[in-house]
Structures are given as C-alpha cells and as structure tokens.
Structure 1
Amino acid sequence: MVNHETPLLQVEKMTTVFQTRKGTVEAVNDISFSITKGETVAIVGESGSGKSVSALSILRLLENTGKVSSGKVLFNNLNLAELKDEEIRKIRGKDIAMVFQDPMSCLDPVYTIGNQIIETIKIHEDLPTKEYVERAIELLRLVGLPDPENRIHVYPHQLSGGQRQRVMIAIALACRPALIIADEPTTALDVTVQAQIMELLKDLQSKFDTSILLVTHDLGVVAEMADRVVVVYAGQVVEQSSVRELFENPQHPYTEALMRSIPRIETDRDQRLQTIKGNVPSLDEIPSGCRFHPRCQFATDKCRIEEPPFYNLGDNRLSKCWLVDPDAEIEISSPGTIKEKTDEDVYDNLDERLGEKELLLDVEELKKHFPITKGILSRTVGHVRAVDGVSFHIHQGETLGLVGESGCGKSTVGRLITGLIDSTKGQVSFAGNDLINSNRKSMKNLRKRMQFVFQDPFSSLNPRMTVLDIIGEPLEVHGLAKGLDKQEKIGELLETVGLSKNDMQKFPHQFSGGQLQRIGIARALATEPDLLICDEAVSALDVSVQAQILNLLKDLQRKMGLSYLFISHDLNVVKYISDRIAVMYMGEIVEVTDSETLFKEPLHPYSKALISAVPVPDPTVDPDRIILKGEVPSPSNPPSGCKFHTRCPMAMEVCKQKKPLMQELSSGHIVSCHLYGEG
C-alpha cells in the first residue's frame, strides 16, 4: 500500500539552468512534486519538455554547463541541492538509484555484468569477497535472469536487450535503495519484453516497498505503473493528479491533447488522429503568458499575456491553466469524445479501395541465411537464418503491417525486397517484374518505385547537406529533374509533407524530429514511388508528432495511391495504419489477416502474446497478460519443429517434431500452427 503521509522525496520550486553560447537558459522552471514511500510517480511530456532534466537534477547528474539554480530537493528532509559532490555520491546508488533508457550505453562493454554489480556494492558496503559474489547472484536471480551462477561471468554484448535492462535494474537494486528513478526504462524494448520489465518493477516494488519516479512519454505504461502523474511542458509542471483522475478527466489542454494523439487498439482506423499543432518551444524562445498557448485550441488573449497560476482542484490535483478558473466559461472536452467524421477526416474503406486494385508486390518463400565464418581461412561453420521462407503480397493502395520482436527479420525483409542485400532463395515480383533476377539497369528503374523511410531521421539524413541537396539527390540520380525544375519539384514535395518552400536552404539540425521525418518522407516521394517501406518510421517520435506523421502517411496514400510495407513493433500504431498484418517470429510469418480480425480473434499463440502485452492507456483496465517465458532462440541454431514451441504455453509434442504448414482457416486468415490441424 502507498503511504501518503510523509514524502520520501519533496521537490520544491526547482529551477535548472544551462549555460549556452546565447546565455543562460532555463530547462526546468519552478517544478514541484513529491513521492511517498512505496509510491510510483510518473513524469510525462513531449521530448524537450524537461522530463529527463528534472530526474537528472535530483541526483545532480547534469552536464558541466547545467546546475540547479534555485529551489529545494528534499530527500528524507536532506536538501540534495546543497550537498557537496562527495556527499551526493554517497547517496547515489545506495539511497537513490537510476535505471537509464539505453542499457548498452550505460554498461561497460569490457567488464562482466557480475563485476559491474559488485562494483556498485563495493562503493557503499564493505563485505567479504564471497558475499559480493553471492549478492550479485542473488540480484540476478531476483530480476529473473536465467542461470545467474553462469550469467554473472558474461559480458553485456552477450545478452539480449531485455536481459541487459534486467541487469541495469539489478545494479539499481544492489544496495536496496529507497527510490529508483527510471528514465524511459521500456521505450527501446519490444512489447513482450516491456511487459516483463513492467511486471518485474511492480513485483520488486511490492517486495521492498521501493518508490519509483518513472520518466516516460508512453501513456500506456503510465496507466499501468503510476499512482500519480506529473505532466510537464516547456520546463514547467502544467498538471498533477492521480492516474485515474488524469485519464478520466484531464484538466489541462496539453494533457487532453496528448491523450487524443495516441492510436489505441479500439481506435477506428478510418478516423484521423487528433494532433497538437506546432512543436515544444526552444528554451531560448519561451512564449509569454501560458507557454502552451501557441498550440492550444482554447487559447484566449489572457493566455497570451498572463502566465496562469496553479489552481488547486482538491485531492492533491493541480492545473496550471486559466480554463480551470471557476470564472472561466470554456470547458475542456473529455478525451473519450471523438470528433464527428467529415469527408476530409474519413479514409476510404478497405474493400472500396482494394476491391479492383492490382497486385503490386508478391513475395514467395524469401530466404536470407548469413554465413558464420571461423578461422584464418574464414570457413563457413553455420548460418544465421535471418529470413527463412517468408511469403506475402501487397496490392496497390494497401498497407501491410509487419510485426514481431526485435531480431525476427522484419527489417531484413524490407532490404531484401529493395535489393539492398541479396537473397539466398525465393522470388520477389514487383508490378509483374522479377526483382531477384533483374539486371542492374532494370533494378535501378524498379528501385525508384520502391523507397525507404527509416526509423531515425537524424542518422539517415546527411547533416552537411541542405534540404535542397537531400531531396534533390534522388532526382538527379534517376535523371528526373535538374536546375530550376529541380527546385520547383523540391518546393512542391516540401509543401506536400506540410513544410515550406523556404525550408530548402536549411540544414537538418535546424528542424525538430517530426520535421526531419517529414523531410525523409519527401525524399522518399521524390521518385514518385508506388511502394514505401516504412521501417519503424514513427517509433522514435513523441505521441503528438507520431500522430502527425501517421495522418500524413494516410493522406498521401489517399491522394497518391501509395502502398506501404509498415514495419514496427508498436502494435497500436500498426493496428491503426494497416489494412492487413503479418506476424513474424524467427524469420517466418506465423499469421496473416486483416488488422481488425487479428486484434479481435488472433489464432497463433505468439500473436495472442504480442497483443496481450500491449500497454493499455486506461488505468481502470487490468490487462490479462500472456507473459512469454525464456528468450528468443538463436537464429543460428533454431529449435526443431515449430520455432515457437520453446516459449509457447500451448506447445504439444508434435510442435517439437514437425514444422506446421501455413493454412487458410477463413477468408484471408492464414496461420501456421498445429493447434488447427496438421495443415
């Protein structure tokens, strides 16, 4: 039970500043919140809102240019902001521990995980050597890492992403801290691993009565994990509430807008997602008055001029908005209220769009086995079966979602289709043309009709090139436009994706993440393709920006008749944008059907586990999770029979011996599983 009497951590009017070339800027302004023993408090908001800076400020882990300039950070009534460096070091790791987003960048690659756990214990406790090892093994067992006696000797690169995150949690628990600060602990994980980590954190919290400060932008995780929520925007807290009240009746337009931006499993895919216009303001260009007013649909002249105070709405509920003033005449609508469909908002029905459409892409038994070499002579000693007999098709104007855990071969399939890597076996037909056996010239002509939109626009766009050169490059490579014609074409492409012609002389660093993704889409559209392969194209974006990009992709599909292969591990997004979905496991497709049917009546046990693991952005729902045991087997040594049988809760003896064949159980619903007969 949560103790609401005495705060364990009390942050009072904390302001954090950074020294920049333009002078001093405030990253966090007068933030206040508290955490009691055994409580989970979530800090949510878009990137750049000050979530992580607030968490790092508590432990004084800021860069050299940053510092807490005013306010108090009281931990058991001790002001952390006033402690000397050697004093705060005694608290870090012992009383307050931190779990970071990317364990691979936090774990030392040259030390075993056992040494790294022991190092943390040694800093704060003096124990006999044997007890250090025993404590490390106990911690690994506690966080659910299999075979901890042997795993203590392995290195970080020998573990999966979920296992590395468990090691990070073990290090955080090494000295039994009273408070754990978890900064996006599940963002980079698959839904199945994410579900395991969330269950682990909840179990550990109940065992040790540990408090958790959860920093995240995933409202589904917030709904399942948090007791209370602190919503931050542009460095300020704009709303505080219990998790249930926040989701039932948000009292700030920003909170309400964030919730409307989320694609949910129950969201009608024919309905546009509601978005938040604009972006989080730069720290050196903070608006006057209410900081959210340039993006707020309810903004008044008063909002533009005067900064609103915090209104206490009772039961520890606060909102920094003029609209909750008892004298205000405007009310914020409920997040459950969906705008009525209009001709502009509603997308065409799948049957209407695809009824007479031609087959665009046909993939048959596609395989890619990467050789494993050994010795000076690089002899082949085995193969990694990255893609092992994949078949599917896409019609003109259709979106096929491709889902599965990391490492299942989704991205490799996309690269095989476009010829970026050579296939081991199989057939790929695009618009009636054989891609596998095409010569270089034919492949170049076909490749311009298939384009990639990558996950991370920051790394996929050349930082030394202007937008003009970035988008213009494919036009020149394929001889489509030059000179003034090229500039005019680029201007049209920028306007098509919602940017301005004036942006073409800018460099990538001058844009936000969402704008960069729009530039990536404009570049992909430059060759007038028929098929876009979107490889985790929205997974790195905030929910508000993600909604903008998803709406854009649907608009472009409706206007230009584009087809999409949409690769992602975010099932909410895939459900919303896809006509049909193919589920992959260890290089094979195990189920294919339309998106509505898959989420209502999944047939394969793996599909059921994936869907059950999706975080539900509703604190009143207690999801019935299917937690998969064990890790994904190595693709270089896959299990016999059905590859999923080692983790399947419904595995039978035949599953271990015989590989199931694909069979169509109903119109368009194909599955590979022994539960439905021999096939």
Structure 2
Amino acid sequence: MTTVFQTRKGTVEAVNDISFSITKGETVAIVGESGSGKSVSALSILKLLESNGKVSSGAILFNDLNLAELSNEEIRKIRGKDIAMVFQDPMSCLDPVYTIGDQIIETIKIHEDLSKKEYVERAIELLRLVGLPDPENRIHTYPHQLSGGQRQRVMIAIALACRPSLIIADEPTTALDVTVQAQIMELLKDLQSKFETSILLVTHDLGVVAEMADRVVVVYAGQVVEQSSVIELFENPQHPYTEALMRSIPRIETDRNQRLQTIKGNVPSLDDTPTGCRFHPRCQFATEKCRVEEPPIFQVADNRISKCWLVDPDSDIEISYPSATKEKIDEDVYIDVSNRLEEKELLLDVKGLKKHFPITKGILSRTVGHVQAVDGVSFHIRQGETLGLVGESGCGKSTVGRLITGLIDSTDGEVSFDGNDLISSNRKTMKDLRKRMQFVFQDPYSSLNPRMTVLDIIGEPLEVHGLAKGLDKQERVGELLETVGLSKNDMNKFPHQFSGGQLQRIGIARALATEPDLLICDEAVSALDVSVQAQILNLLKDLQKKMGLSYLFISHDLNVVKYISDRIAVMYMGEIVEVTDSETLFENPMHPYSKALISAVPIPNPTIVPERIILEGEVPSPSNPPSGCKFHTRCPMATEFCKQQKPVLRELSSGHIVSCHLFGEGEEKWGNIL
C-alpha cells in the first residue's frame, strides 16, 4: 500500500509500499517514531484520511474484498460493523452534546434494525462489558462527566457495538495513567479472547507492545523496516532502528548512572527523504552502499523480514552494538543519594500545603462546596536533588507545582525556598525568588508563543528580570541554545519550524535563562517519542551535574521517574501517601497504592508476565472525598478502621515515610495482614 497527500509542494508519499497481514484473533502492533507513518497506515485502511490524501497504489484485502477500490458509500457499510477504530483522544472523538448512550446507539442503528428497547439494552450490555460501573445510570451521562479512562472505555464500547472482526486501536493508552492503561490492556485482551477479534495496535510504547502483540511491524519514514514475532523482535532485533528504539527506553532496572542510548537527528521530512536507505543519516553502521542504494526487503527467517543491507547474506559487515557505558560522574556536583544526600543544604521545604477550589452556584455565585485539589502536602528538596512526584491524573501533582511557583495562590500551608517564606513574601521579593524557580511545561506547542521567534521567547525572561538586553540578550540566547543542544543560528526561527523534541529543548532553555536553582518539570517528556525522550532525560541529567540544578519532576511514567529521581513522593487525592528513595520504592513499596502503581508499569519484555494489582472502582471526587483514609474505597487491604480514621505520615525507616494504618495506629490489630 502506498498513501499520498497533495500539498503545495506537490505529491508527498506518507506511506511507501508497505505490506503486512493480520489473522483471526491476532494482535499486530505497528511501532515507530512520530512521523513514521503509523497512524496514516491505520487511517488508510478505513479511508479516514484528510481530503487531500488517498491510497495511490496497492491493495487492502479484507476477507478478499479490496477496500482500496470501494466508494465512500460502500466503505461506510464496513466501518463500525466489520472493522472498528479506537482513536487516541476520546475527548475529541466523543460528541460533547450527546450522552454516551446516544452515541453507542447511533453506531448500532447504522448497521442493525432493532427496537428502541433493544438498542438501550445493547448499549447497557456494552458498557457493562467494558467495565464501566453502574451502566444503567451512566448511559445518560455526557463525556465531560467521565474520567479519561472511562471515556476510553466508552470508545471501546462504541467500537465493539456491532462485534467487528478487526479493531484498529490508534495509541489507545498513550494519555492514560499506568493503572488505567493496565485496565484497558486487560480489557482488550479479555474481549479478544471472548470474540476472537483481531487487533491492529498503533503505538510507540514498547512496553505495551511486549504485553499485547503477537507480531510487530516496525515502520520508519513511511516504510516497513522490520517485521517479526514479538518475542524474536525483543530478543534479537534485525534492524539498527529497532535496536536503537529499544535501547532508548528507561526501564525499572536501568542504572541511574547509565546514559540512555539516543538516536541522532530526526525522522526525515516526507518531502525530503534521503537517498538510499532512509535511516542511513541516523545509523551508526551506515556504509556508502546504504547512502546510495535502497535496500530490498530480506527474508531473515520464517515470517521475519528486515529492510537493511546489514542482514544481506552476502554482507561482510558485523553488527556489534556498544554495551551501555557508565557516565563519568563529577563527584563535586553529582549527588549520590545513598551517601551524600543528607549533607546537601535544604532548598525547598513544603509543609501542609493546601488548595481548595470553591464550587459556586446560582446568580449570586454562592460557595456550596470545595474541590480539595491539594490537601496538606509536605515534602522537601535539597540542592542538586531530583524529587519525583507521581500519581494518577487528578491527584494534584501539577497543582502542587503551580502553588510552589506562585502561579496560583494557596489556601493554606507553608512554602520555604532557600529560607524565604514564599506565601507571605511581597511582590518584589517574590519576583526575585521566582527567577530562581522555573517551570518546564508538558506541551511545548501550547506553552511557546507561535508568533514570537526563539530569540524573543528565550529572551523575554532575561528582559523581565533585567538580566540582558540588545546584543547581550542575543549572545546569552545563543549560549542557552547551545547548552540544550541546539544551534545559535536557530534563534530567528519560529516554533512551527522545530520538532517536538527541539521545542521541549527551547522550553528548557527559556527556563534556564534566569539561572534558576530549581526546575519544576511537569510531564516534560510524556508527549515525546522514546528516542527524543531519551535525549531530553540525558540533557536534564547533564544540566544537573553541570549547573547543580534541583528538579521537582512531575510525571505518571514510573519508568522515567525511577530513572531520573533520587527520591519519589507518591500522591493520591491531594495527599502524599509515601516518600522514599527511588530504589527502595521499587524494591519494597509499602503503601498499597504504591504497590498497585508499580505493578501496573508495562514491562518491555514479552517473556515476562507481570502480576498486576488491578484497582477496583474509580478515583473518588475531590469535592466529596471519602472519610478516613481516602484510598480505602479502592484498597484491597482496607478495614473498618481505615474507613473511620485518617492515617498520618510516619517514618518507618530512615527517609521512608508512609501514610497507612497498616503501619500506624491500627498496626497492633491488623499489621500482620501483610
């Protein structure tokens, strides 16, 4: 199949002559970096491309029916009934003005003629099938009333409405927490076993691939570069691109002192693809033949192919991947958490921090309640230390970061930065302190002004704080760009001229402009490909060693947090439930919530079957939190005492703090439950 788009520059090939197949009940994963053609391949199958795109050649055979030759009217009879699609962002795919029941029923009505009662019964049955609680009442709710995980379940219910033979899932778990991601993966596997449904899984998460897929198709710059069974692919990749992707992933067992492998450069633009092998500009094994002559697809073994000259039987080049090397650690700057952390001076001290957002009602906007977004958070960060802050979406992680920097006002509590009280500081003092604390936001596309050049974006904080103007500003911006791995020649460009990873580097350069002591990184790598993510993580660690920076690293990706953090604080419903060093948390988590989070982390190894702790129910509403321990409604170890009495943070061992009755007031009665 070849898919092309008509642009101002002419015809552009987004997908170039790719081939793969899926059998009944099989899961095939398509993996690759952004811009490789994964989603375009999936959308081409159902003719869901933009108006300027089309399948220009090749065949898409579904039970011997060539979908590429069907008219729009004919393909509509296939969509939803025989082949269904689960999109990446359910909020943009679900209609906000219709109930979820109406949207499920609409799909059934297109393909089946049933009575009104039967439509409703089928919708309720589907919601129950995908694990949505109280489906009889939830059928009348609107998308905005559901959590991200619940909306994704509704999308899966819509996809299953007519029992299709094939489900195309385009990044179905990318924006979800690890706990919800684990639930969605288990759900898809259960549904597959019940109905023998085939799944085409589009993703860049190799942990999800290892757990879900039977076979894997690796794509790069619109071409299939490797295809194999999932076990063979992970055990012995046959293309340098596949190997590089796997070595980019931070894993739970990855040594914190070990640099992540990165892939130099970026995926080439569709209108400027390299000659020869498309991967050669980024390949460490590229030869002159790779630069000039495009490799054919070689049959490496049964049901295994690779598009690389290195697997040519006549090739005399040996692939020898370098072993992971240890970083050279500057002992004067780098913090060894086990030996030297206590010697460092306290930089940030947060005590009892609260933020309760008022709920107003009526014409007079009277306060009728509060959303307890942050409810008594306490932690500290020392100079040169990285504290990871983890938890599910809505637990208050990002709000904590905004409270610390004064982007929003706190309801109660104390925040001390280098001995200065931030809550009661006057405007001038706060301005002086804020230049020492900077924010790196999650989405660089929305946090960088598209109308400003890079010079103005990075130079703005320099002017605001009176640090540089004119030629001095240009010189300083050039230095900052080179510090984060970009060129000073980039300063006159606009944000749209950069890739996602480059934009995140610009965001980091802007944060470094005022020479801060503390960076608050809010999901700073969550939207990036694994290869770009590795570059940013290496950059953050290099900057920490070079400049002695401290980080508050907010994320729901536990593999990343484990790799970059000295200590980790676990949050649930606005409260800290456990704090300890990163090694201890993953080797011996004490709080039941921490155990569930860690058990839900996808493992990029298809030979390991993880023992998951699947949390029942949904996160309670922060406007009406449960009494006692807030986690008791989902905790597998909860007792009556947990429902009545709120636990307090207790130090179980040196630096290991836990808020749980299993180690506190109720320990005498039920501590042996562990």
Q: Indicate the TM-score class for this superposition, using the shorter chain for normalisation.
A: over 0.9
Residue aligning to 2:70:
83
Tell me, yes or no, if the aligned pair for 1:41 and 1:213 is still in contact at 8 Å: yes
Tell me, yes or no, if the aligned pair for 2:344 and 2:382 is still in contact at 8 Å: yes
Residue aligning to 1:139:
126
Change (3 A) 1:140 1:342: closer
Q: Which moved more, 1:320-329 or 1:384-393?
A: 320-329
Residue aligning to 2:392:
405
Aligned-partner residue type, residue 377 of structure 1: L
Quote the offset at 1:355 in angstroms: 4.5
* Paired residues for 1:169-188 under 5 Å: 169-188=156-175
Are positions 1:493 and 2:487 aligned together? Answer: no
Q: Residue 537 of structure 2: SS of its match in structure 1?
A: helix
Q: Residue 33 of structure 1: SS of its match in structure 2?
A: coil
Are positions 1:42 and 2:29 aligned together? Answer: yes
Are positions 1:194 and 2:181 aligned together? Answer: yes
Are positions 1:221 and 2:208 aligned together? Answer: yes
Tell me, yes or no, if the aligned pair for 1:251 and 1:332 is still in contact at 8 Å: no
Tell me, yes or no, if the aligned pair for 1:583 and 1:590 is still in contact at 8 Å: yes
Separation in 1, partners of 2:568, 2:137: 39
Residue aligning to 2:669:
none
Separation in 1, partners of 2:284, 2:18: 25
Are positions 1:339 and 2:312 aligned together? Answer: no
Are positions 1:161 and 2:144 aligned together? Answer: no
Separation in 1, partners of 2:312, 2:649: 61
Quote the offset at 1:159 in angstroms: 0.7
Separation in 1, partners of 2:560, 2:191: 30
Tell me, yes or no, if the aligned pair for 2:649 and 2:660 is still in contact at 8 Å: yes
Change (3 A) 1:507 1:352: farther
Are positions 1:233 and 2:220 aligned together? Answer: yes
Separation in 2, partners of 1:142, 1:374: 36
Residue aligning to 2:114:
127
Question: For structure 1, which runs of at least 5 residues remain unmatched after alignment?
Answer: 1-13
Are positions 1:513 and 2:500 aligned together? Answer: yes
Quote the offset at 1:342 in angstroms: 5.0
Question: For structure 2, which runs of at least 5 residues remain unmatched after alignment?
Answer: 667-674
Tell me, yes or no, if the aligned pair for 1:272 and 1:345 is still in contact at 8 Å: no
Q: Residues 143-168 of structure 1, C-alpha deviation per residue, up to 9 Å, x if partnerless?
A: 11111111111111111111100000
Separation in 1, partners of 2:237, 2:150: 36
Q: Residue 59 of structure 2: SS of its match in structure 1?
A: strand
Aligned-partner residue type, residue 649 of structure 1: P
Residue aligning to 2:652:
665
Separation in 1, partners of 2:336, 2:369: 47
Residue aligning to 2:420:
433
Separation in 2, partners of 1:342, 1:127: 65
Q: Residue 47 of structure 1: SS of its match in structure 2?
A: coil
Residue aligning to 2:560:
573
Change (3 A) 1:662 1:234: same
* Paired residues for 1:395-474 under 5 Å: 395-474=382-461
Q: Residue 190 of structure 2: SS of its match in structure 1?
A: helix
Among the aligned pairs, what percent are the same residue? Answer: 89
Quote the offset at 1:351 in angstroms: 4.3
Are positions 1:538 and 2:520 aligned together? Answer: no
Tell me, yes or no, if the aligned pair for 1:401 and 1:582 is still in contact at 8 Å: yes
Q: Residues 511-569 of structure 1, C-alpha deviation per residue, up to 9 Å, x if partnerless?
A: 00000000000000000000000000000000000000000000000000000000000
Change (3 A) 1:627 1:551: same
Quote the offset at 1:315 in angstroms: 1.9
Aligned-partner residue type, residue 195 of structure 1: A
Which of these residues, 372, 375, 383, is aligned with residue 359 of structure 2? 372
Residue aligning to 2:671:
none
Aligned-partner residue type, residue 242 of structure 2: T
Quote the offset at 1:314 in angstroms: 1.6
Residue aligning to 1:11:
none
Are positions 1:275 and 2:262 aligned together? Answer: yes
Q: Residues 160-194 of structure 1, C-alpha deviation per residue, up to 9 Å, x if partnerless?
A: 11110000000000000000000000000000000
- Aligned-residue Cα RMSD (Å) equals 1.1
Tell me, yes or no, if the aligned pair for 2:335 and 2:385 is still in contact at 8 Å: no
Quote the offset at 1:349 in angstroms: 2.8
Residue aligning to 1:8:
none
Q: Residues 619-643 of structure 1, C-alpha deviation per residue, up to 9 Å, x if partnerless?
A: 0000000000000000000000000
Are positions 1:319 and 2:306 aligned together? Answer: yes
Aligned-partner residue type, residue 41 of structure 2: S
Separation in 1, partners of 2:330, 2:162: 54
Tell me, yes or no, if the aligned pair for 1:271 and 1:345 is still in contact at 8 Å: no
Quote the offset at 1:356 in angstroms: 2.5
Are positions 1:100 and 2:78 aligned together? Answer: no
Q: Residue 480 of structure 2: SS of its match in structure 1?
A: helix
Are positions 1:623 and 2:602 aligned together? Answer: no
Are positions 1:650 and 2:624 aligned together? Answer: no
Quote the offset at 1:333 in angstroms: 4.3
Aligned-partner residue type, residue 32 of structure 1: S
Are positions 1:356 and 2:339 aligned together? Answer: no
Change (3 A) 1:344 1:654: closer
Tell me, yes or no, if the aligned pair for 1:28 and 1:54 is still in contact at 8 Å: yes
Aligned-partner residue type, residue 323 of structure 1: L
Q: Residues 433-454 of structure 1, C-alpha deviation per residue, up to 9 Å, x if partnerless?
A: 0000000010000000000000
Are positions 1:64 and 2:64 aligned together? Answer: no
Separation in 1, partners of 2:607, 2:161: 33
Q: Residue 415 of structure 2: SS of its match in structure 1?
A: strand
Separation in 2, partners of 1:199, 1:307: 41
Separation in 2, partners of 1:251, 1:394: 44
Separation in 1, partners of 2:559, 2:495: 29
Tell me, yes or no, if the aligned pair for 1:365 and 1:391 is still in contact at 8 Å: yes
Separation in 2, partners of 1:436, 1:344: 37
Separation in 2, partners of 1:590, 1:20: 53
Q: Residue 406 of structure 2: SS of its match in structure 1?
A: coil
Aligned-partner residue type, residue 31 of structure 1: I
Residue aligning to 2:623:
636
Tell me how many residue pairs correspond in the alignment: 664
Residue aligning to 2:15:
28
Separation in 1, partners of 2:325, 2:543: 22
Separation in 2, partners of 1:141, 1:510: 46
Quote the offset at 1:326 in angstroms: 1.6
Change (3 A) 1:466 1:677: same
Separation in 2, partners of 1:194, 1:492: 41
Are positions 1:151 and 2:176 aligned together? Answer: no
Change (3 A) 1:145 1:17: same
Residue aligning to 2:537:
550
Aligned-partner residue type, residue 109 of structure 2: K
Tell me, yes or no, if the aligned pair for 1:97 and 1:180 is still in contact at 8 Å: yes
Residue aligning to 2:283:
296
Which of these residues, 586, 591, 596, is aligned with residue 583 of structure 2? 596
Residue aligning to 2:572:
585
Quote the offset at 1:678 in angstroms: 1.1
Aligned-partner residue type, residue 615 of structure 1: P
Separation in 2, partners of 1:132, 1:201: 23
Quote the offset at 1:653 in angstroms: 1.2
Separation in 1, partners of 2:233, 2:212: 14
Separation in 2, partners of 1:341, 1:218: 25
Tell me, yes or no, if the aligned pair for 1:464 and 1:507 is still in contact at 8 Å: yes
Separation in 2, partners of 1:93, 1:338: 47
Quote the offset at 1:78 in angstroms: 0.3
Tell me, yes or no, if the aligned pair for 2:258 and 2:325 is still in contact at 8 Å: no
Q: TM-score, normalised by structure 1?
A: 0.97
Q: Residue 542 of structure 2: SS of its match in structure 1?
A: helix
Q: Residues 100-153 of structure 1, C-alpha deviation per residue, up to 9 Å, x if partnerless?
A: 000000000000101100000000111111111111111111111111111111
Aligned-partner residue type, residue 391 of structure 2: G
Tell me, yes or no, if the aligned pair for 1:50 and 1:234 is still in contact at 8 Å: yes
Q: Which moved more, 1:340-349 or 1:473-482?
A: 340-349
Separation in 1, partners of 2:326, 2:412: 46
